[in-house]
């Protein structure tokens, strides 16, 4: 799993590449929490264009970051999901709490 971070205003854009599963979930969780805290990010966008798999541990990472950002009064969005990941988000009900956009630019306009 590779992660790339970009800060745009008070929004952190996180690009994930690879598989977000139980093998890397704890490392990703810790790293994301640290970056969110250090950058003082209010909003969070997950760019999942290059993520090809996510299991329940990955869902836990997403939900945990959603809860953290929500406590700060911010919003979480997801962009560029593959068909597989989109199906996982739908089945897990994540789209009830996290908005989906085509691009990071679209998400930035709305959050």
Helix (H, G, I), strand (E, B) or coil at 40: coil
Q: In what order do the strands lie in the sheet with 11-20?
A: 2-8, 11-20, 43-54, 76-79, 99-101
Q: For the whole model, what pTM was predicted?
A: 0.94
Which residue reads 């996180």 in tokens? Answer: 14
The pLDDT score that the predictor gives to residue 75 is 97
The mean per-residue pLDDT over the stretch 23-36 comes to 96
User: Which percentage of the chain shows pLDDT scores above 70?
Assistant: 100
Q: How far is CA 85 from the centre of its chain?
A: 12
pLDDT for 78-109, tens place per residue? 999 999 999 999 999 999 999 999 999 999 99
Q: What does the DSSP 8-state code read for residue 51?
A: E
Kindly list the domain boundaries of the chain, sorted by start residue. Answer: 2-110
What CATH number has the domain spanning 2-110?
3.30.750.24
Residue 14: which of 77, 71, 75 has the closest Cα? 77
The mean per-residue pLDDT over the stretch 9-21 comes to 96
């Amino acid at each position: 799993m590779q992660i790339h971070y970009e800060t745009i205003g008070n929004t952190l854009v996180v690009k994930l590449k690879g598989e977000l599963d139980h093998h890397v979930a704890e490392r990703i969780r810790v790293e994301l929490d640290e970056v969110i805290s250090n950058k003082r990010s209010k909003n969070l966008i997950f760019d999942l264009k290059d993520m090809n798999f996510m299991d329940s541990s990955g869902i836990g990472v997403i939900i945990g970051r959603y809860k953290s950002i929500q406590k700060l009064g911010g919003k979480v969005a997801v962009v560029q999901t593959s068909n597989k990941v989109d199906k996982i988000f739908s089945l897990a009900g994540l789209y009830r709490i996290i908005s989906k956009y085509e691009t990071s630019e679209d998400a930035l306009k709305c959050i």
